[in-house]
Chain A
Amino acid sequence: MIEGNFLPRWVSIGLIPLINLLLAFLVSGIVIFFIGENPLQAILVMIKGAFYYPGSIGYTLYYTTNFIFAGLAVALAFHAKLFNIGGEGQAYVGGLGVGLVCLALDQSINSFLVTILAVFGSGIFGAFWGVIPGYLQAKRGSHIVITTIMFNFIAASLMVYLLVNVIIEPGQMSPETRDFSEGVGLVQVHKLANYFGISMAVSPFNISFFIALIVSFGFWILVWRTRFGYEVRSLGHSETAAKYAGIDVSRTIVLVMAISGGLAGLVAINELLGVHNKLLLGFTAGYGFTGIAVALMGRNHPVGIFLSSLLFGALYQGGTELDFEFSSITREMVLLIQGLIILFSGALAYMMNPIVEKIYFNYFKGPKNA
């Protein structure tokens, strides 16, 4: 190929992902149309629901926080060409870390310290759940996709068992732990604003969001500015080349999966320390899976992941509004949109390339082989 026959960057990382996204929305619109509602009206309701009503932006950013953590987890593994489908389970077990730290310590030591330890607890427990599939891939050759899927189910069973039989609040019917004591947890932004005399609508938006931004920056440093990041990316490009360059492939795989699991585990701090203030059944609600869509759309880059997390945050929050405004479309519509985004931005990511190339070179740059 001759230099100059490649698509410019703004087309390949800007325009084509945008076209794929629009295709996903177009198909969703067609489904809404067949259900007998107006797609444009649905979009309007979702935008209003996500940004317009009091507190809605807070809700959007609260969802965004989950997706940043889950998206970064998937993205780091993708950089090493590992597909971590286990974010859901890692986040769930991360919650166990939060829960155990809080339940064990919140009566005895300073609540600020407990919160910090709980944040680390989520990361460490998530890392543990990620590192086992990583180890099995590196040392025993098990396929990471299958192992992480299995680990999601094992995590779900484990958590049900623990919550129903072991750490449930005594004398309670629903499988939840007792509330963490007062003062433990990550403060919600509207409370912080009130403290400084600014009035803000109530929402679950809490300072985990800022932790997510700091972690995103750390992710960028780690992947593009450290030796370890270089090793990870080399491994992602070619395992053989990495091996010949003297990179310890097994060690890198294990470490990547540990960090990836830890990142997924952090979803728990937003949910448990920021909102629920206790450990409860099913708090991960599919966020780990959404992380895959986020990473694919964000092209595994923190900035892209932030933007796609924001989009998914808006979709989730806007989706809840669908329940109120329409009788026949509900928030599950968002699941459909999410599936379509994974299909078009992930599996069919290169479908539009030949067409776009043809149009670009024929109409903007003259014939390709001139």
Chain B
Amino acid sequence: MLEMFQICISLLDSTIRIATPLIFCAMAGIFSERSGIIDIGLEGKMLLSAFVAASATFLTGSPWIGLFSAVVASGFASLIHGFACITNKGDQVISGLAINILASGLTITVGIALFSRGGQTPSLGSDQRFMPIDFPFQSLINNVPFFGDLYSDVISGHNVLVYLSLLAVFVTYYMVFKTRFGLRLRAVGEKPEAVDTAGISVIRMRYQAVIIAGILCGLAGAYLSIAHGAGFGREMSAGKGYIALAAMIFGKWNPIPTLFACLLFGFLEALGNRLQGVELYIIGEVPVQFMQALPYILTVILLAGFIGKARAPGAIGVPYSKEG
């Protein structure tokens, strides 16, 4: 019983760690797609900012400068995306794909030129990373059965970006649903003509949305390389941007359900790692690859309308031009 409880605690702990970059990226996706801009470039922006965060931190010694640089780099990538699909009315999927491939090539190329380590950055010491924060009274509560472990391992003991990601969810919710900006954002994604008629610039709204998306992806990337990890490795985003995209669809472009989708996908991965080589009753060993594929399979099933219906914003993917 106690062992079971310990396993649950450690599963929840890793769920949160795995879910953090997904949460940032999925919120980024919500901002972008709610404004009508498809963003499959989440992956590339996260990869780019992970690299920039680790490099800037290594070169300056300060993770805060690393974090800032990551956000700037990712924001810049967003501007390219915006320039291509808002200003030049280019295809949003193609532009996102270009950013993903560019990020792969650029991080390795510049990484090798800067550090000559085959694309990796040198590893960072603990003073150059965002380290776990221990909440107060931990030693006191630690002795309380069950709740003590829950408090010290699941609630406390994460780095600052983990808590920031949760905050981002509520800020996203508030901005999208409770502010004038959010009302306009959603309107721009559904019926841009209406917003234009009301005298609000569609272009400006969409640029604001993609830049916010860029900033959030930058936080995700920094989390990977200077908080969760200690340095950048080639292709370290490893498809997380796409899982975040899936989570966003799973959460139907709403921040709170999307948070739970991220946690679900994080939990599936944590469980998959945990179950590796474990024989279960009746089922036998669950292949780890099946657990890895499960978020994608679930998303396909959801999109096919077999579990509820995921409806994208009405004007998504369509460049806006005045006069039709």
Task: Please list the residues of chain A having a beta carbon within 8 angstroms of any beta carbon in chain B.
Answer: 31, 35-36, 83, 85, 136, 140-143, 145-147, 149-151, 153-154, 157-158, 160-161, 164-165, 289, 292, 296, 327-330, 332-340, 342-343, 346-351
Contact = CB atoms under 8 A, between A and B. Distances in A.
Max chain A Cβ within 10 angstroms of own Cβ: one of B98, B239, B287? B98
Contacts of A158: 289, 293
Given A141-B305, A142-B304, A158-B289, A339 B102 contact: yes
Contacts of A349: 90
Contacts of A339: 98-106
Interface residues of B, number: 49
Contact of B102 (A142, A296, A327, A343): A343
A319 to B, nearest CB: 10
Given A149-B40, A335-B104, A343-B80, A31 B90 contact: no
Contacts of B100: 339
A25 B303 CA distance: 39
Contacts of B293: 153-154, 157-158
Contacts of B108: 330, 332, 335
A26 to B, nearest CB: 15
Interface of B: 38, 40, 80, 83-85, 88-95, 97-106, 108-110, 112-113, 116, 119, 239, 242, 245-246, 249, 287, 289-290, 292-293, 296-297, 299-300, 303-305, 312
B297 A154 contact: yes
Max chain A Cβ within 10 angstroms of own Cβ: one of B109, B287, B292? B109
A24 to B, nearest CB: 10
A201 B192 CA distance: 60
A142 B109 contact: no
A153 B85 contact: no
A146 B90 contact: no
Nearest to A150: B296
Contact of B300 (A142, A334, A340): A142
A333 B111 CA distance: 11
B280 to A, nearest CB: 16
A345 B60 CA distance: 37
Contact of A342 (B101, B106, B109, B249): B101
A325 to B, nearest CB: 14
A194 B261 CA distance: 60
A150 B305 CA distance: 15
Contacts of A35: 109-110, 113
A147 B105 contact: no
Given A153-B242, A154-B296, A346 B249 contact: no
6 contacts: A83-B91, A141-B305, A157-B296, A330-B112, A339-B105, A347-B91
Contacts, number: 149
Interface of B is mostly: helix
Contact of B84 (A142, A329, A338, A343): A343
Which 9 A-B pairs rank lowest in CB-CB distance, beginning with the nearest?
Answer: A336-B105, A335-B105, A339-B102, A347-B95, A339-B101, A347-B90, A157-B293, A142-B303, A343-B98
A289 B40 CA distance: 14
Given A31-B106, A161-B290, A333-B109, A142 B296 contact: no
Given A142-B305, A337-B105, A347-B85, A153 B296 contact: yes
A143 B303 contact: yes
A318 to B, nearest CB: 15
A136 B303 contact: yes
Given A149-B40, A161-B290, A351-B88, A31 B98 contact: no
Contacts of B84: 343, 347-348
Given A154-B296, A165-B287, A339-B101, 18 more contacts: A35-B110, A141-B305, A146-B249, A147-B300, A153-B292, A157-B293, A289-B97, A332-B109, A333-B109, A334-B105, A339-B99, A339-B100, A343-B99, A346-B90, A347-B84, A347-B90, A347-B95, A350-B90
Max chain A Cβ within 10 angstroms of own Cβ: one of B91, B292, B296? B296
Given A142-B304, A342-B101, A347 B94 contact: yes
B97 A85 contact: yes
B206 to A, nearest CB: 15
A348 to B, nearest CB: 5
B109 A340 contact: no
Contacts of A347: 84-85, 88, 90-92, 94-95, 98
A332 B312 contact: no
B290 A157 contact: yes
Contacts of B116: 327-328
B296 A145 contact: no
Contacts of A333: 105, 109
A296 B105 contact: no
A83 B94 CA distance: 9
A343 B296 contact: no
A160 B80 CA distance: 35
Nearest to B44: A339
B93 A145 contact: yes
